Amino acid sequence: MLPLCLRRLFQSFCVLVLAWGFANSALAEEIELIGRVSLPGTTRDLSGLKGTVAKKYPRDLFGGISAIDYTGSGNRYLLLADRGPLDGAVSYPCRFHEVEIEIDPDKSPAIATRLLKTHLLKDIDGRSISGAAAKSDGPLPPLVERMDPEGIRCSPDHKLYISDEYGPAIYEVTEHGVVCGEMQIPGHFRIAVPHADADQEASLNSQGRQPNKGFEGLALTPDGRYLVAIAQAPLIQDSTPTGKGRKRRGQFSRLFVLDLKTGKNQQWAYPLTESKNGISEILAISPTEFLVLERDGDGGNEAHFKAVTHVDASEATDVSAISQLPHKGLPQGVKPVKVQPWLNLLDERFGLKGPQMPEKFEGLTFGPTLPDGRRTLVVAVDNDFETDVPTELFVFAIPTSKLHIAGR
């Protein structure tokens, strides 16, 4: 038998080993930021366009990333640019990019990117589609006059879907950038009188999406059957004026759910965590489970809410027949989607909080599964085409206990 002192030493060692095991087990169950990459604001794309817009911005300037989607093939992703510099005040050709993002936590740096192609969006007659707000909305076919691309998803059979904030609208797009179809959207999402000036537009309309707050997010369920678009903010009729210009506040943003097989649709109500927040993106886990990127409009030290929430719509009421939702509360018996905290981007352990905290987290996609079984989640930041602000990508590793991923 071991002497008493050695037995106690051995017992202490066992306690330490168990404590270390429990600590590491708990740590392994946490979401981890495994890497980030910054692309300079001066980066040029592969569009081949020459010249400048507004005498300042190169027509081949890379930036303004409003959405990202993993193609399911190797390390290839799609990055979607929005309507261009100066919030649609200039005629900037709309586009998306194919980008290679290599993720390897064992390397330093863990994330490497390479721009592969740039695709300009065109109508079926080969005409370029512009982000200029001054152009009027137009039906498809034969022409889309203007577009503010905000969401992009790639189907298992390589079809692309792009959501447009102007309409709002959802377009079917070929992998080469040709807009070839348009989804039917219920009338109460649409405004009657579009206008290039946001204040004028707000005063001219009593229903539909708020100015620059249309379908900001787009999801495609893993089986490729359902498209889900979400408005950045409550519709005009679902909100109330704040007394500050065109700003309005409401509690519920609408999700529009389209069954691509039957053509049927429904709507759900998403309760914002704070009424002044906006929705940037939605990502499907299953036909009734989603991740939603919700944030405030501040950056740096002023930022106080940047988060990904978990949404369960399995018991949500279809609110399609409710043309006007109350700006607070819902009618008796009407259930919104269930929203729970999931990933707080301001969590101190990620080291993002502070003066360099980005304002516009805009894109969200799952990436490949890591060798240890964790799924990657890529979050993209919009730099508004400012040449002194980088485009940033953040990659998180998601333990299987945090999320059961179906599909590709």
- 14: which DSSP letter? H
Task: Give pLDDT, residue 401.
Answer: 83
Q: Tell me: pLDDT of 28 over 60.
A: no
What pLDDT, in 10s, does the model give residues 369-393?
999 999 999 999 999 999 999 999 9
- In whole angstroms, what is the distance from residue 68 CA to residue 382 CA? 11
- In whole angstroms, what is the distance from residue 46 CA to residue 49 CA? 8
Query: Cβ distance 161 to 155 under 8 Å?
Result: yes
Q: Tell me: pLDDT of 9 over 70.
A: no
What pLDDT, in 10s, does the model give residues 89-100?
888 999 999 999
Which stretches of 30-182 are DSSP H helices?
Answer: none
- 86: which DSSP letter? G
| Span between the terminal Cα atoms of the chain, in Å | 57
Share of the chain above pLDDT 70, in %: 90
Share of the chain above pLDDT 90, in %: 77
Backbone angles phi, psi at 333, to 5 degrees: 90, -10
pTM, two decimal places:
0.90
Query: Cβ distance 65 to 391 under 8 Å?
Result: yes
What pLDDT, in 10s, does the model give residues 113-126?
999 999 999 998 89
Radius of gyration of the chain (CA): 23
Better-predicted residue by pLDDT, 327 or 49: 49
Task: Categorize the per-residue pLDDT at 84 as very low, low, confident or very high, splitting at 50, 70 and 90.
Answer: very high
Task: Give pLDDT, residue 402.
Answer: 83
Better-predicted residue by pLDDT, 402 or 396: 396
- In whole angstroms, what is the distance from residue 184 CA to residue 187 CA? 9
Query: Cβ distance 255 to 317 under 8 Å?
Result: no
Write the burial class of residue 77 (CB in 10 Å: 0-12 exposed, 13-18 middle, 19+ buried): buried
**What are the domain boundaries of the chain?**
32-402
What pLDDT, in 10s, does the model give residues 217-248?
999 999 999 999 999 999 999 999 988 778 89
- In whole angstroms, what is the distance from residue 261 CA to residue 181 CA? 15
Task: Give pLDDT, residue 144.
Answer: 65
What pLDDT, in 10s, does the model give residues 162-192?
999 998 999 999 999 999 999 999 999 999 9
Average pLDDT, the chain: 89
What tokens appear for 143 in the block?
A: 């022409």
- In whole angstroms, what is the distance from residue 316 CA to residue 161 CA? 25
- In whole angstroms, what is the distance from residue 375 CA to residue 343 CA? 14
What pLDDT, in 10s, does the model give residues 280-311?
999 999 999 999 999 999 999 999 999 999 99
Q: Tell me: pLDDT of 14 over 60.
A: no
- In whole angstroms, what is the distance from residue 273 CA to residue 279 CA? 10
- In whole angstroms, what is the distance from residue 250 CA to residue 230 CA? 15
DSSP state string for 354-369: STT--S-EEEEEEEEE
What tokens appear for 282 in the block?
A: 């939605």
What tokens appear for 65 in the block?
A: 């990333």
Q: Tell me: pLDDT of 16 over 50.
A: no
Q: Tell me: pLDDT of 56 over 80.
A: yes
Give the pLDDT mean for 57-83.
Answer: 96
Q: Tell me: pLDDT of 18 over 80.
A: no
Task: Give pLDDT, residue 340.
Answer: 94
Which stretches of 161-246 are DSSP H helices?
Answer: 198-204
Write the burial class of residue 281 (CB in 10 Å: 0-12 exposed, 13-18 middle, 19+ buried): buried
Task: Categorize the per-residue pLDDT at 3 as very low, low, confident or very high, splitting at 50, 70 and 90.
Answer: low
**Assigned fold of 32-402:** Tachylectin-2; Chain A (2.115.10)
- In whole angstroms, what is the distance from residue 284 CA to residue 272 CA? 18
Better-predicted residue by pLDDT, 83 or 136: 83
Better-predicted residue by pLDDT, 10 or 353: 353
- In whole angstroms, what is the distance from residue 104 CA to residue 400 CA? 18
Helices (H) and strands (E) in the chain, counts: 2, 24
**Torsion over CA: 401, 254, 141, 84 (sign):** negative
Length of the chain: 408
